[in-house]
Amino acid sequence: MGKITLILGGARSGKSTCALNLAGKKKKVAFIATGQGLDREMRERILKHQQARPKNWKTFEEPKNLSALVSGMGDNFDCIIIDCLTLLVANLILAKNKEKAILEKFKVLLSQLSRKKAKVILVANEVGLGIVPVSKLGREFRDIAGRINQLAAKESAEVYFITAGIPLKIKG
């Protein structure tokens, strides 16, 4: 079975670049993007991310139903990158999923990923270092994203915390 690596950090900390570097010279890489280009600025960000990836990688754009996607992949890849779990949580909340349902969906996904032969790299924002959000929705998002990060870290063989582009290995 492959091993799971979690990369955590703040916004613009270098998480995605670290994920690309950890994928190294793998030939058959599946890149699962959870971001949605709902406005011009986000579409530009997505384009920059796409241009940074090697051309031979297979990109899947899936904002919510990662379990179905991962299930259908079989063992055709030697590395799977999911970027990012934080956007996945936001997408699920905005689709009216409740915390219990989101956590259950993520547990199923983690179980699927842990059985893959591929190296799995998960990218997520660390949400526990900031202020308490003023809105109920903001607090709900922060709480769920934090719980997802904890579940991912528990199942990961390696965890990196990225700050200013510098990876610090905190597990494994």
d(CA 99, CA 4): 23
- Alpha carbon 4 to its chain's center: 11
Cα 7 from Cα 5, distance rounded (Å):
7
The catalytic residue among 3, 28, 49, 147 is 49
10 is catalytic: no
Count CA atoms within 13 Å of residue 96 on its CB side.
Answer: 0
Contact 144, 99 (CB under 8 A): yes
The candidate with the shortest Cα–Cα distance to 31, out of 55, 65, 13, is 55
* 34: nearest Cα among 110, 92, 101, 79: 92
Query: What is the set of active-site residues?
Result: 49
